[in-house]
Amino acid sequence: MKKEQFYDYESRLSRPINVKIPELQTGERLRHVIFADQFTRGILERVTRTADRIRTVHKSKDGCRFLRELLPHIKAMLYFTQPSTRTFLSFMSACQLLGVSCAEVRDPKTSSESKRESPIDSMRMFSSYFDIVIMRSNQPQFAECCAYLMNDLGETSRRSVPIINAGAGADEHPTQALLDIYTIQRALTFDHPKDSSKWTWFEELRQTEPGLRRGIGGKKIGFCGDVRRGRTVRSLSRLLTLYDDMSMYFVSPPHPKLRIAPEMKSLLIDRKAEVREFSTFDDPCGSSSVIENLDVLYMTRLQREHNSPEDEADFANLDFNPYRLTSKLVARMKPYAAILHPFPRDEEFGEIPTSIDADPRAFYFRQARNGMWVRAALLAYLFDVDSQIADYYEKYTAETKDYNTGVL
C-alpha cells in the first residue's frame, strides 16, 4: 500500500496510544485487536483462562462438538500478504475449533490488487463477505488504518467487522505477545506431571531458591538477538509491564539498529520495569552472569528482511556468535528457566541449535501450539462466547470428577 493512501488516516495515526485505544473497543470490550497495549491484566487473565478451558474441553469428542457449534455462523478472512506459517495456521485451526469458516488471500497477485485495486478497497470487499478480518502486512500501520475504516463504515450504518492485527511490519504482533504471556505463565506455575501430595517440583525448586514464587511477577526475562526490529519483542515487553517488579535484560549486538530503541527502553522504564542491556550472556549481572539470572529466555532471529544494503555492510563487521544459544549456556541456566522463541528459527544462523530441543526447558514448540489455544480463546472473547465455554467447562470437569470418584 502506498504511503499516500494513509492520507485519510494520517492525523489519527499520529495520536498517542491512550487516545487511540478507546476507539478500538466497544465499551470495555475489545472490538479490534491492533496493539498489545490494548490488553489489560483483566483481559489477559480472561483470555488465558479460556485457553486453558478450551484445551481441556477439546480432549473429548463431545467437547469438540460443543466448541464447533459455538460460532458456525461466523466467517473469517485470513488476509496474510506477508509470509507466515504458525500465525496463519494457528488462526486457521483456532477458527476450525470454534466452527468458524475461513477463506484466505495470501498473495495479492492472485487478487484484484494485481489490477491496481487498492488494499483499502480489498478490505471493504472482505468486510462485505466475512465477519472478521485477520491480517498480516509488511506495512506497520495498515491494520490500524483498516480498524479506522471499519469504525467509519460502522458510524454511517454500513457493514463493519473487527480487525485482528496478526503482525504489522517491524512494529507489533499483539496476538504473538498473548501466546507468549500464556506460555510464560504456564511455565512459571511450576506444575509437574509427577506432582503428588508427597512431592511437588515447586517445593523441590524452593529448596535451592527459597524466594521462588509462582507466576510472572518479579521474574527476570531475557531477550536475545535482534531486539530492536523484532516485533514480537516490542509487543511482549509491553505486556510484561502489566506485572509487578519485572526485570527485562536485552542481550543484543552492539549496534544502534539492533539494540533496543531508546524510546522503547524509556517506555518500559516509565512503566516501572528494570531494564538492562548487555552484549553477551556472560556479562556480569549481580554476583553471577546474565545467563544464570534468567527465569525466562526469549531468543529471536536476525530480522534480515529489514536489512538495507548499508546494514548488510555494517553488520558484516559484527560478531554474532554471542547471540547463538549453546548447550553449555543452557547448562548454566536455572533448572526451570523457560526458553522461548517466536519462530521461525534461522536454520543457517542457528540461534537455537536443534540439540537443545530435547531439554525440558525448551518451550518453543509448546509455545507454538499454545498459539492455537490462545487465538481460539481470543476469538471466543471477541464473539462473546467465552462464558458459554466457562459453563461447559464447569459441567465437564464436575462430571469427570464424579466419574473418577465413582471409579475409586
Q: Measuring CA to CA, which residue among 312, 318, 336 is closest to residue 280?
A: 318
Nearer CB in complex with ligand ASP: 149/368: 368
* 282-301: contacts with ligand ASP (CB under 6 A): 301
Is 165 a binding residue for ligand ASP by CB under 6 A? The answer is no
The CB-nearest residue to ligand ASP is 342
- Helix or strand or coil: residue 288? strand
**101 has which bridge partners?**
75
Nearer CB in complex with ligand ASP: 162/167: 167
Of residues 63, 119, 162, 167, which one binds ligand ASP by CB under 6 A? 167
Q: Measuring CA to CA, which residue among 342, 297, 301 is closest to residue 188?
A: 297
* 326-365: contacts with ligand ASP (CB under 6 A): 342-343
- Calculate the CA 43 to chain-centre distance: 14
Is 174 a binding residue for ligand ASP by CB under 6 A? The answer is no
Are the beta carbons of 67 and 97 closer than 8 angstroms?
yes
Span interacting with ligand ASP, options 35-43, 193-201, 230-238, 273-281, rule CB under 6 A: 230-238
Rounded distance between C-alpha atoms, residue 354 and residue 336, angstroms: 19
Q: Which three cell numbers stand for residue 179?
A: 501466546
- Helix or strand or coil: residue 158? coil
Rounded distance between C-alpha atoms, residue 269 and residue 92, angstroms: 37
Span interacting with ligand ASP, options 69-77, 210-218, 229-237, 378-386, rule CB under 6 A: 229-237
Q: Which three cell numbers stand for residue 183?
A: 506460555
Q: How many CA atoms lie less than 13 Å away from 341 in the CB half-sphere?
A: 25
Size of the site for ligand ASP (CB under 6 A): 8
Nearer CB in complex with ligand ASP: 63/167: 167
Rounded distance between C-alpha atoms, residue 285 and residue 249, angstroms: 10
Are the beta carbons of 180 and 298 closer than 8 angstroms?
yes
Closest approach of ligand ASP to the CB of residue 293, in Å: 25
Span interacting with ligand ASP, options 227-235, 251-259, 329-337, 377-385, rule CB under 6 A: 227-235
Nearer CB in complex with ligand ASP: 172/295: 172
Is 229 a binding residue for ligand ASP by CB under 6 A? The answer is no
Q: Measuring CA to CA, which residue among 105, 349, 129 is closest to residue 224?
A: 349
Strands (E), 18-177: 25-26, 29-30, 75-80, 101-105, 132-137, 163-168
- Helix or strand or coil: residue 90? helix
Closest approach of ligand ASP to the CB of residue 221, in Å: 17
Span interacting with ligand ASP, options 102-110, 181-189, 224-232, 392-400, rule CB under 6 A: 224-232
Nearer CB in complex with ligand ASP: 105/168: 168
Of residues 81, 127, 160, 232, which one binds ligand ASP by CB under 6 A? 232
Is 231 a binding residue for ligand ASP by CB under 6 A? The answer is yes
Are the beta carbons of 57 and 66 closer than 8 angstroms?
yes
Closest approach of ligand ASP to the CB of residue 87, in Å: 6
Nearer CB in complex with ligand ASP: 232/293: 232
Q: Measuring CA to CA, which residue among 335, 223, 213, 221 is closest to residue 274?
A: 221
Of residues 173, 228, 259, 265, which one binds ligand ASP by CB under 6 A? 173
* 249-278: contacts with ligand ASP (CB under 6 A): none
CA dihedral 176, 181, 184, 186 (to 10 degrees): -110
Nearer CB in complex with ligand ASP: 74/296: 296
Nearer CB in complex with ligand ASP: 141/160: 141
Nearer CB in complex with ligand ASP: 247/300: 300
Strands 288-289 and 284-285 come out as antiparallel
Which residues form the interface with ligand ASP (CB under 6 A)?
A: 167, 173, 230-232, 301, 342-343
